[in-house]
Copies of this chain bind each other. A is one copy, B any other.
Amino acid sequence: MADTDNSIRQAFIEDPPNVLKAKPSEGAKRFRRCRSTPSDPTDQPIDQKPSEHTSALKSKELFKDIRPSFRLVGLLLFVYLLVGVIIFYLFMDQISGKRTNRVLDALYFVIVTMTSVGYGDLVPNSNTTKLLACAFVFTGMAIIALFISKAADYIVEKQEVLFFKALHMNMKGGEAKILRAMETNRIKYKFYTVALLMATAVVSGTLFLWKVEKLSLVDSFYCVCATITTLGYGDKSFSSKLGRVFAIFWIIMSTILMAQFFLYLAELYTEQRQKMLAKWVLKRRITTMDLEAADLDGDRKVGAAEFVLYKLKELGKISQEEISSFLEEFNRLDVDQSGTLSTYDLTLAQTS
């Protein structure tokens, strides 16, 4: 969930960058924030304005190369479809079923295959096309999965902002307040957004099949359900030229929305569980045993940071292995063995 913390913030580019971090209910007077570290440097959009923090910048540049961006996934999808159309255009004679236009049918077949809908209204009938279909369904599914995990989330987030803005048009306090409300319920709003988009897809698909493909209303709805779940019995499908043009866009969009819907549902559930656990961890009575266990440096006192670390570990957010590796690093840097790091330690550690 921390993975997407920054993206919404980026959608409102005109907003001051730290408006979300200023929570009015703070209360703790003597605690300051770790200001120069971003929440998650890996997940900032590539085309973001350069910030003044060098550490954030460096890690952003590092991950520009590894993380498949929205554009890369889009390009991959385009290349896949292009190769698919060329291959199945050439082998169209070894595919049997209802035909319309040769190029259109090739594209329709590739999309029905890659989304694993598989109506069966166009079926490979030679060994070559059968094995080609096998290769295309596996690679296509991988691309769809990549698309779901990367690009679709980004698109839904953009839609979500619009959706939320429309919903809270009259809300006082401006965008900062809207953003804060969204931030606390991010997954819930993503879920609402995707549910709304899916309802649109179901209605538009049903109307199209009813009006253009001349199916009955029940058959239209049945074909829509069979498609978005990738069930694809194939007794009802898109058989006209216009129908297949519509299907090309509609199938890819609706199946991805459906997968995204389930993904957010799972995330929503996980978040609820995590919130309940956090509540319990916060409420739990602290015992002397806890104090002893939380005392990381063995000085018989539990400082603020030690307490937070102990609680985060109890919450299951971090593991002992992670703490250990950073403790080792701390130990290495703390040259004078004072138990605290100072500028003096840094000078000593980094010159030697």
Contacts and interface: CB of A to CB of B under 8 A. Distances in A.
Contact of A118 (B226, B273, B282): B226
Interface stretch (A169-177, A241-249, A288-296): A288-296
Nearest to A35: B293
Nearest to A331: B28
A151 to B, nearest CB: 14
The winner among A63, A66, A278, A323 for most chain B CB atoms within 10 A is A323
Interface string A287-324: 11111011111100111111111111111111111111
A312 B316 contact: no
Contact of A37 (B120, B221, B293, B304): B293
Nearest to A145: B262
Contacts of A235: 120, 123, 125
A125 to B, nearest CB: 8
Contact of A276 (B66, B123, B266, B307): B66
A239 to B, nearest CB: 15
A340 B273 contact: no
Interface residues of A, number: 124
A149 interface: yes
A31 B225 contact: no
B305 A303 contact: yes
A71 interface: no
Contact of A219 (B130, B225, B282, B308): B130
A286 to B, nearest CB: 6
Given A145-B266, A226-B137, A229-B138, A324 B23 contact: yes
B232 A232 contact: yes
A347 to B, nearest CB: 10
A296 B17 CA distance: 21
Contacts of A287: 346
B326 A311 contact: yes
A118 to B, nearest CB: 4
A222 interface: yes
B234 A233 contact: yes
Contacts of A83: none
Given A218-B127, A288-B346, A316-B2, A341 B308 contact: no
Contact of A33 (B27, B291, B314, B320): B320
A240 interface: no
Given A131-B222, A304-B330, A234 B118 contact: yes
A39 interface: yes
Given A234-B234, A286-B341, A305-B306, 17 more contacts: A37-B293, A42-B273, A55-B290, A59-B314, A63-B277, A116-B231, A117-B231, A118-B230, A119-B120, A137-B231, A145-B266, A282-B326, A285-B350, A286-B346, A288-B346, A303-B340, A312-B326
Interface of A: 2-3, 5, 21, 23, 26-28, 30-43, 55, 58-59, 62-63, 66-67, 113, 116-120, 123-125, 127, 130-131, 133-134, 137-138, 141-142, 145, 149, 218-219, 221-222, 225-226, 229-235, 262, 266, 273, 276-278, 280-282, 284-291, 293-298, 301-331, 333, 339-343, 346, 350
14 contacts: A2-B317, A5-B319, A32-B296, A41-B316, A42-B273, A119-B120, A130-B219, A131-B218, A134-B221, A282-B325, A303-B303, A304-B330, A305-B308, A309-B309
